[in-house]
Amino acid sequence: MTYSYTQISQYLRCPRSYRHRYLDGWREKDTRAAMVFGRCFEKALAAFFLHEDSAAVLSKEWGVYRDTPLEYKRSDSWDQLYHQGVQLLEQFARDNRIRVRQPRQNLQIKLLHPLPDDSNFVAYIDGIGELDGARCLLEWKTTTSRYPEEPTGLLALDPQLVCYSWISGISEVALVVFVRKRVPEIQYLRTTITEEQRREFGQLVEETAGRIGAGQFLPHSGIRFPQNGCVSCPFLGLCLVSPQLIETKLIRVPGASDLDWLDQLDD
Ligand code: SF4
């Protein structure tokens, strides 16, 4: 069994959703434009570090989806996302704050950590490089809203950064947030993950993997207003036994659990 950050966090959010996704093979349909665009944008970023024409790579990758019926947010369109992406790439080049030496080795780095019972934890780290000259682990995000910078220290609680710090052993981490808005913005956020946080995260992973191995999949529905996680859960149709919701949101992929670790690439 190979676990990833996405699997562990999905189990912690709701064990029943883990069962729907990873044991029964239900997957959300890949139709969210923002998510598809995010993957194309990360390929363009990789091209930037390889001294290739990143705007051309974005145009090629995102161009594949020009006529695909994706779900766009109200104010979004294919053209809008493309132009925002190009502006963000230009801004990133002008800022010139991130360095990645030997990009072929230091981008999309696969790391494995052995767990008890012959299982593994896998993570794909976006990069290891420098922010303003200081070495750190790098994580990219494309989003439509700014990452909150208050209260001070909040970023150190980001579970994905804690996870990547744990598996890499690197305490200095940076989140580069590409904010798609009317005037695009890039946030360069840095924090330090402590040894204790890494140790506790390792314990959390082992404990969670143990509960998954023991077949514990009780639902945590979070149905109480206004923190209603079920409303945004792709598996709501399964829990409500609604064929129409299932048809709209999900596809079933037999044998998908063999490739679960690939989810890591979607983060
Ligand atoms: S709809 Fe609610 S109970 Fe069902 S899997 Fe999703 S979060 Fe869990």
Task: State yes or no: pLDDT of 211 exceeds 50.
Answer: yes
Separation of 9 CA from ligand 1 center, angstroms?
A: 14
C-beta of 28 in contact with ligand 1 (< 6 A): no
**Rounded alpha-carbon distances, angstroms, from residue 7 to 24, 102, 223, 252, 256:** 14, 30, 21, 17, 13
Residue of 12, 13, 17, 20 with the most ligand 1 atoms within 8 Å of its CB, for mutation: 17
* Lowest pLDDT segment from 111-125, 164-178, 247-261: 247-261
Rg for the chain (alpha carbons), in Å?
Answer: 19
According to DSSP, residue 139 is labeled: E
CA proximity to 11, closest of 179, 205, 228: 205
C-beta of 229 in contact with ligand 1 (< 6 A): yes
Residue 191: band (very low, low, confident or very high) from pLDDT cuts 50, 70, 90: very high
Q: Which letter, b or e, does each residue of 152-164 get, where b requires 16 or more Cβ atoms within 10 Å of its Cβ?
A: eeebeebebbbbb
Residue with structure tokens 């209603």?
Answer: 228
Q: Is 180 exposed, middle or buried (0-12, 13-18, 19+ CB in 10 A)?
A: buried
Residue with structure tokens 């999900």?
Answer: 250
Tens digits of residue pLDDT in 63-93: 999 999 999 988 889 999 999 999 999 999 9
Separation of 28 CA from ligand 1 center, angstroms?
A: 13
Helix (H, G, I), strand (E, B) or coil at 148: coil
Res 262: pLDDT: 46
Number of neighbours of residue 255 by Cβ within 10 angstroms: 7
> Which residues lie below 8 Å from residue 170, measured CB to CB, with a gap of 6+?
128, 136, 137, 164
Task: State yes or no: pLDDT of 142 exceeds 70.
Answer: yes
**What mean pLDDT do residues 115-133 have?**
95
Helix (H, G, I), strand (E, B) or coil at 123: strand
pTM score, whole prediction? 0.87
Separation of 19 CA from ligand 1 center, angstroms?
A: 10
